[in-house]
Each structure stands twice: as C-alpha cells, then as structure tokens.
Amino acid sequence: MRVAVVGATGLVGTKMLQVLAERNFPVSELIPVASEKSLGKTVQWQGKDWSVVTPAMAVEMKPDLALFSAGGSTSLEWAPKFAAVDCTVIDNSSAWRMDPTKKLVVPEVNGHVLTLADKIIANPNCSTIQMVMFLKPLHDLYAINRVVVSTYQSVTGTGKMAVDQLMNERKGVQGEMAYRYPIDLNLIPQIDVFMENGYTKEEMKMILETKKIMEDDEIQVTATAVRVPVMGGHSESINVSFKKDFDWKEVRGALTAFPGIELFDNPEHFEYPMPLLQAAESDAVWVGRLRRDDTMPHTMNAWVVSDNLRKGAATNAVQIAERILELKS
C-alpha cells in the first residue's frame, strides 16, 4: 500500500513510522506529510530517505492509506480531501470521534464494526483506549454499571514541547512552557480546556468515547484527568461496578485471555504495572492491583497502565489499518 503519514515529524507521527516498520506493514511507498515549513526535509525510514510533502501534494499522490496525527483542524480540513481520492484515513485527533457517521475503533474491542466503505476512521483518545481494553472482557461477563476513573497522564501525551519543559525544569533551564504551571515535582489536574459542566475536554472524551466504543449508552463513567511528570505511559486508577457479582478466577482468566492485555498482579512479590518499567515501548495494556471494593456491591478496583504513544495512539492506528487490509484480502 502507498501510505501517507500526516504529521510525520511529530511525536506520534514518528512512533507511527516505527510501528509500521516493526509490524512489517506492507508499505510500497511512504509519503511523509507535514506543514509547509517542513517541505523538502527528509524522513529516514527502512533505510531510505523519504521527502516530506505538504497535505495538498500528498492528496495529488493518491495514497491508499493515510495515518493522521496532526491535530483536529488539520484533520477536519484534509481528511475529507484524502477520502475523496479513495484513500482510507485513520485519524488520531478528536475531530471525528463523536461524529455519528464515523467509526471509533479499538480493534480488540469493536473491530467488527469496520467495513471497506469506511473512509474516515477515528482513533480514540489514548486514555480511553487503555480503559476500554480492560473493561471489555469484564463487561461481556458481568455488564458494567458505573466506572470511576482517575488518570495519571504522561507529558508525552502533550507533545515534544511538554517533554522539553519537564527536562528543562529538571536541569534548571528556562525554556518554552507547554503548561501554564511547572510540571516537574508537580501535578496539574487539568488536561485540555474546561467545559461548562466543570469537567475538562479530556475527561468528557473518556466519558463519551467509552459509550460509543463499548456500544452501550447505559455505562456510566466519571473521570478526573491529571498530568504527571512521567515518561513511558499513562496510568489509570479504575473503580468499576457491575450489574452482577464477579468471580476472581473468572476475572483473571478473562483478562489473561483477552488479546493485548498483560495481567501483572502479584502484590506479594511487589509486582504491579508501572509506566517506566512495564508499559514503555510495549503495545500491551498492563493490569494490576486488582481488589474488591468492599464499600459497594459487585465493585472492584484496578490499576491500568499503557504506553500512550503506542497502544494509545500509533499502534492502535496501525492495527486498524491491518483490519482494513484483512477486509480487502
């Protein structure tokens, strides 16, 4: 396939290129796409230099597939233009996620909804992806009633400027600020803008996207999203209540059997998932600290960790592309 990567020079775009190579995705021609200021630069991939082009130039080249990671406004403007030349677009921004005419997909959870007619497919929010991966096998068994989630989100979710801010603060160097406040030795309980209801846009993404991906509007979700001075992945403390009681042997069996989940839950040996030690550069969603919540019926607590640039973004997008390839064959 002729594959365009829109936003190829950014953190997620770079990770998309890495994942395409690692998974041996059949790329006959790579089309790295970035803004006008990057025109003429080259991206090295698979031992070759590929020239960076603008979105307009890429559309004229009529790629078979376009992986977008260049922000919502770019997606809204350009995704329909790529789709119009019979290119399948997989978009990592929030632009199309809640559009009722577009699919929002985590392949292990709802990959069955994909068809060859889908020309713009939305990649979910990174925090939502890892949460629904954990929830799906348990929802199938016990039917989820309510989810309370608090996130501990890596600076890599904001981008290179945020990583630079953290590193500059550690060195005592004055530099460009991605955040309103210092992030080193600090937590910022705001991710994205505040909405009228007091939640942030990030929190509302988790609430609304979960219902759409899980195909169940009755699941109640409430979220608090926090930026933390961490690299390697996002972590989530999840409290989930079911409509019927659960059995621990069955829970562990379902999680272990679910593709893409790594159960790492041995408190007696101090084994639990951490972003730096387990999640970083892993495509898995890591689950640990499983325990019953004795204050509520049919309720458990869990700790869920995943690399937000991989399964939370690049890997999930490439997995969607692989599903499309399967449909074509």
Rounded distance, CA 47 to CA 116, Å? 32
Residue 223: closest CA among 210, 214, 233:
210
Answer for the pair 123, 92: CB distance below 8 angstroms, yes or no.
yes
Q: How many CA atoms, within 13 angstroms, populate the side-chain half-sphere of residue 276?
A: 5
Beta strands 234-242 and 144-153, pairing class: antiparallel
Kindly name the residue from 87, 126, 139, 298 that is annotated as catalytic.
126
Q: Looking at 112, 234, 269, 298, which residue is catalytic?
A: 234
Between CA 281 and CA 233 the distance in angstroms is 9
Q: Report yes or no: 89 and 82 within 8 Å, Cβ to Cβ.
A: yes
234 is catalytic: yes
Instruction: Give the ranges where the chain is alpha helix by DSSP (H).
Output: 11-22, 55-60, 72-83, 107-110, 126-142, 160-171, 201-214, 248-257, 315-328
d(CA 57, CA 42): 15
d(CA 298, CA 77): 46
**Annotated active-site positions, please?**
126, 234
